[in-house]
Amino acid sequence: MFLKCNSTRSRLARLAAVAGAIYVYASWAGAQTLPPAQSPADAYRKGCAACHESEARLIRAIPRGSDEQRLAWIRDFFNRHPCERDDLKPLIEQYLLEKSRR
Ligand code: HEC
């Protein structure tokens, strides 16, 4: 009985090890295959369009000001906001900065 209990536990441990290995491999493979962005517009599409199909409303939400002021607003906003592709944030910033120039 005791032995049986032990073997169940080691089977669980093996299962956990295998699951961990798969997880590590999957995140590695995922990081390897993320497609690069072709342009700032493409970066926006990859990072934001899942939730914001059009950027028109977002551009309106950015307050008027110099490039530095808008960039500061965008960066501050990003710190509290989801993004599908954190690695593309610099390109997305560039995209929003250009689009909100007025
Ligand atoms: C997981 C979903 C999701 C993703 C991804 C996302 N957003 Fe949002 N965003 C929201 C929601 C929800 C709101 C709240 C406004 C609303 O009700 O539409 C919002 C609001 C905003 C606003 C305020 C203006 C407004 O419409 O109220 C800006 C600016 C914005 N998002 C920019 C971005 C940018 C830039 C990206 C890409 C880096 C991004 N968001 C990615 C869900 C998302």
Q: What is the pLDDT along the chain (102 residues), one digit of tens a residue?
A: 555 555 666 666 665 666 656 565 566 555 557 889 999 999 999 999 999 999 999 999 999 999 999 999 999 999 999 999 999 999 999 999 999 998
Domains in the chain, number: 2
| C-beta of 92 in contact with ligand 1 (< 6 A) | yes
pTM across the whole model:
0.74
49/6 same-domain check: no
Q: What pLDDT, on the 0 to 100 scale, is given for residue 102?
A: 83
Q: What pLDDT, on the 0 to 100 scale, is given for residue 33?
A: 73
Task: Report how far residue 15's alpha carbon sits from residue 42's, in angstroms, rounded to the nearest whole number.
Answer: 40
Q: What pLDDT, on the 0 to 100 scale, is given for residue 2?
A: 59
29/49 same-domain check: no
Residue 6: which domain range?
A: 1-33
Q: What pLDDT, on the 0 to 100 scale, is given for residue 89?
A: 96
19/64 same-domain check: no
24/5 same-domain check: yes
Ligand 1 centroid – CA 80 distance (Å): 10
End-to-end Cα separation, the chain, in angstroms:
77
